[in-house]
Amino acid sequence: MNHHPISIRSRLLAALLALAVTATAWSHPVPDLPVRSHFASDGNAEIRIEVDPRGFSDDPESVNYFQKGTIESLSPEKVRQMKDTAEVFVGQRLRFFFDPIGEVKPKITWEFKKLGDGGIPFETDDKNLLKGDETVLVGSWKTQVISGMTGYRIEALPLSTGKMGVPLNVMFINFIGGKQVERYGVLYPGETSFTLDLTEQGISPKPGGRTEGSVGVTATSGDWLSLFGSEIKRGFAHVIPEGLDHILFVLGVFLLTRKWKPLVLQVSTFTIAHTLTLWLASAGYVKLPLTIVEPVIAASIVVVALENVFCKDYTHWRLLVVFAFGLIHGLGFAGAMATRLDSTSSLVVGLLGINLGVELGQLAVIAVALLATFWITDLQKYRKFVVVPGSFLIAAMGMWWVIERLSSN
């Protein structure tokens, strides 16, 4: 057998990419739950909560994104029901606090908007409604800062039995005068955010009346360390246990060779690639439609797995394949994490943490695979009974996802 069938691999890669790029997507894990506050210097404030309706399901990965046409076809009664569901959904997951008042119950107005528009000012409702294909429910809570207000924080509630959906991370992001506050938070169920300090921000409180609002802080080294740790945890969780497709891709990489140098080269190449596109997406420089990203992620699993069948030895061609698909996986991370950050410092700290967490998750997968196979020293038997059948199984699962993601929209 030819150990370097470049033409076969090239045709396989091109065919699967062409198939994926021309089709629509099946859903990826539900993005985090972003809570963005916007405070103006005159004391006006608005807090926005972006809810993906797929999160209402106990199995959100089996539900497609809601598309513009789908929402437009719903009856007014169904739209009202979904908005009411979003209200309950948020009430089961979040509590809002304003110091020194304590907990405050928000009055939220819900609208369907383009995915990601939750961080854009709402000067006119029509400007942001349904401009894209993927839509989410965005809750707007308008309020004022009054004299005596000192702080604003939120709590991510534990998801107990009987509540709808699955646990979600909560993103605590804040803006003052249109500029993002350096520090942001990643909250897991049961955690409380830091308190944003209103008194340091030059906000002019309203002279009286009812309020719900407050503002930002400058991050300290301890804050960055806490954020870094939270992002490591989030990146790791995106691989284990949430990222079955990512796990299969890493296993596909592993099965070609157990030699440490090629493994390190491939994992490092993949990390560099997804770091690059995750940064570009998080900074707002690039975005590919989910209709492209999700099928290509599934196709990447097929390509890497089948290459193990056709190739007995590692070559540097593999690095090109891994890098190309690493770029796409990075966009998948950005879509699942739903973090658009304008602050340079928080972006750097957050992305370093996320990517370190992803890297640790990948290494954990490889470590388990090594522990499960190290005792097989006969290379021919290892290839016959592990590499080939394992690769076919991974390829079959990847192809199933490709077909499902193409056909479910």
Q: What is the pLDDT of residues 223-242, one digit of tens each?
A: 667 778 878 888 888 788 77
The residue behind tokens 């990517």 is 355
Q: Give which of 346, 342, 45 is closest to 180, Cα–Cα.
A: 342
Q: How far is CA 193 from CA 202, 254, 311, 336, in A?
A: 22, 39, 50, 21
The residue behind tokens 């349904």 is 130
Chain CA centroid to CA 231, Å: 12
How, if at all, do strands 94-99 and 66-67 pair?
Answer: unpaired
For residue 155, the model assigns a pLDDT of 94
DSSP for 288-355 reads --HHHHHHHHHHHHHHHHHHHHH-SS--THHHHHHHHHHHHHHHHHHHHH------HHHHHHHHHHHH
d(CA 69, CA 27) in angstroms, rounded, equals 17
Eight-state DSSP code of residue 32? P
What's the token pair of residue 124? Answer: 């006119």
What's the token pair of residue 297? Answer: 């992620």
For residue 109, the model assigns a pLDDT of 93
**Sign of the alpha-carbon torsion through 19, 25, 26, 32:** positive
Residues of the chain with pLDDT under 50: 1-28, 118-132, 208-217
22 SS3 class: coil
For residue 47, the model assigns a pLDDT of 93
For residue 96, the model assigns a pLDDT of 94
Q: Give which of 203, 241, 187 is closest to 45, Cα–Cα.
A: 203
For residue 5, the model assigns a pLDDT of 45
For residue 1, the model assigns a pLDDT of 44
d(CA 12, CA 299) in angstroms, rounded, equals 10
